[in-house]
Amino acid sequence: MPTWILNTEFKFDAAHFIEGYNGKCGRMHGHTYKVHIKAKSHKLNPSQYLDSPDMVCDFKELKWAASDSKKGGLDHSVLNDELPVATTAERIAEYIHKETKRRIPDGISLVVTVWETETSWVEYTDDDV
C-alpha cells in the first residue's frame, strides 16, 4: 500500500504556568517551544490551496500553531488563556494534535512532538504506535 509521510518542524514562543504546581513551574514563565509533526497517509488529497489530489495535506495546515496568537496560532500567547486544558507539555502536544486533526483531511495519522526545552520533550498520537 502506498504511504506518504510528511514531516515538518516549527517553533513558537509562549508564556504559561502550571496551575496547582508546587514549584517554580507554578509561576508565569516562558519557553521557545519546538514542535515536530509527522503526518502519515495512504492517499493524497486536495487542499485549500490546490484543487488536485496531490498532497497529504498542506504544510500550512500543519504549521498553524506557529502563527501569531492574534491570527489563531500560539506564538507570543499566554497558553493558559488559549488552551482549555492544563499547560503541561503533555497537554500542549495533545491540544496541537487535536487542533491539527480538525484542520486536515480524514485518514491522516499524526504524531506531534513538543520540546519544552532542548532536553525535554513529549510525543502524542491517538494511534497505537
**Residue 49 and residue 40: Cα distance in Å, rounded?**
20
- The parts of the chain modelled with pLDDT lower than 50 are none
**Residue 117 and residue 81: Cα distance in Å, rounded?**
21
CA atoms within 13 A on the CB side of 115: 12
The predicted model scores a pTM of: 0.95
- What backbone phi and psi angles, to 5 degrees, belong to 89? -60, -40
Is the residue at 46 inside a domain? yes
Is the residue at 63 inside a domain? yes
Length of the chain as a residue count: 129
Instruction: Report the domain count for the chain.
Output: 1
Is the residue at 119 inside a domain? no
CATH number at residue 72: 3.30.479.10
Q: What's the pLDDT at 15? A: 98
Is the residue at 122 inside a domain? no
Using one digit for the tens of pLDDT, what is the confidence trace for 72-104?
999 999 999 999 999 999 999 999 999 999 999
Is the residue at 112 inside a domain? no
**Catalytic site residues?**
25, 76, 116
* Structural domain harbouring 23: 4-107
Is the residue at 62 inside a domain? yes
Residue whose C-alpha cell is 486533526: 101
